[in-house]
Amino acid sequence: MKLQHEIVDATKMRSLGIVLLFVVLSSVGCTSPSGTESPPGFGNVSLTSWQQRYVSIGPKYRNIRVCNDIRSNGSVIATIHTGRSKTLAPSACLTDRGDSFVVQNQGGSSVRVNYSVVS
């Protein structure tokens, strides 16, 4: 009798493990249909006066476009990966390859920077 309960318990545990594995694999498939993990390819960063921010877009090098929002009240310095830096006036953009970028507000008022991965 005790042996039967142990077998039933082991079967239940194995079934639970299989169900959990299925749930985990299903959720990974739903969030990443191609089977590769990738962060969002766009976003924005708000910077207060003289603030600097580092943004990583993931482990792969991609073409990144960083733009100072047209409604910003000042310029920013943008550097994609370790490439050249460029001062961006409102509505100006910088495009280069990398997996990250740094933006620095160059004025006394807040600015907004938009970024996207481009093909």
CATH of the domain at 78: 2.60.120.10
> Using CA atoms, how far apart are residues 99 and 62, in angstroms rounded to an integer?
6
**Do residues 103 and 44 touch, judged by C-beta distance below 8 A?**
no
**What is the pTM (predicted TM-score) of this model?**
0.66
Look over the chain and give the mean of its residue pLDDT values, rounded to a whole number: 79
* Percent of the chain at pLDDT exceeding 90: 54
pLDDT confidence of 84, banded at 50, 70, 90? confident
Residue 54 sits in the same domain as residue 85: yes
**Strand 42-47, strand 93-98: pairing:** unpaired
Residue 84 sits in the same domain as residue 32: no
Q: Report whether pLDDT(109) > 60.
A: yes
Range of the domain at 56: 42-118
Residue 18 sits in the same domain as residue 76: no
